Amino acid sequence: MEKEVLRKELKVSAIENGTVIDHIPSSTVFQVISILGLSSIDNQVLFGTNLESRKMGTKGIIKVKNMFFAASEINKIALVAPTATLIVIKNFAVVEKKPVFVPDTVEKIVKCFNPNCITNHEAIPTQFQVIDKKELKLRCHYCEKITAKDNMTFIS
Ligand SMILES: [Zn+2]
């Protein structure tokens, strides 16, 4: 019994310090890696796709050693992986575990879909109101056009 619990703990705490992004939809693991720029950092990054999940059927997971994400990065994760859970590990122990939330407003991290939008022509940071958190629809503060999940481009 105790061994079983320990093994489960080890699965999650396999890194000494860092962040585990759990419950990522398998199809968006590589997108999360890309928007967080994890392919070009020196930290150790471990990831898996199509892992068994009782909750989701299959899921993806990313573990980043010695990295703790800022609010703006967590917002990016929420936009592509709204089901994700963030687990903060310190000294092999889980110190924080929280779901990500799609924010009410999105600033700077997404490009406006409208080619004529002022944000695509001048050095003005983008700003959106999230009008549909489930389908992920963002209304531009400047041109009021809707940027949706399918035509969303991230500014890295
Ligand atoms: Zn716009």
Q: Give tens-digit pLDDT for 133-144.
A: 988 999 999 999
Q: What percent of the chain is predicted at pLDDT more than 70?
A: 91
Ligand 1 centroid to Cα of residue 23, in Å, is: 32
CA–CA gap between residue 149 and residue 14 (Å, rounded): 33
**Which pLDDT value is given to residue 47?**
92
Mean pLDDT, the chain, as a whole number?
A: 90
Ligand 1 centroid to Cα of residue 118, in Å, is: 7
Lowest mean pLDDT among 5-9, 26-30, 44-48, 88-92: 5-9
- Give the count of alpha carbons within 13 A of 120, CB side only: 13
| Ranges assigned E (strand) in 6-136 | 18-24, 45-53, 57-65, 85-90, 93-99, 105-107, 127-132
**Which pLDDT value is given to residue 3?**
56
Band (11; pLDDT cuts 50, 70, 90): low
Ligand 1 centroid to Cα of residue 100, in Å, is: 26
pLDDT above 60 (res 24) = yes
**Which pLDDT value is given to residue 8?**
55
CA–CA gap between residue 102 and residue 130 (Å, rounded): 8
Ligand 1 centroid to Cα of residue 24, in Å, is: 29
Ligand 1 centroid to Cα of residue 44, in Å, is: 37
CA–CA gap between residue 88 and residue 64 (Å, rounded): 10
Ligand 1 centroid to Cα of residue 114, in Å, is: 6
pLDDT above 60 (res 13) = no
**Nearest C-alpha neighbor of 126 from the set 147, 146, 108:** 108
CA dihedral 29, 84, 50, 137 (to 10 degrees): -60
Ligand 1 centroid to Cα of residue 2, in Å, is: 56
**Which pLDDT value is given to residue 100?**
96
pLDDT above 90 (res 118) = yes
Q: What is the mean pLDDT of residues 69-77?
A: 92
**Which pLDDT value is given to residue 65?**
95
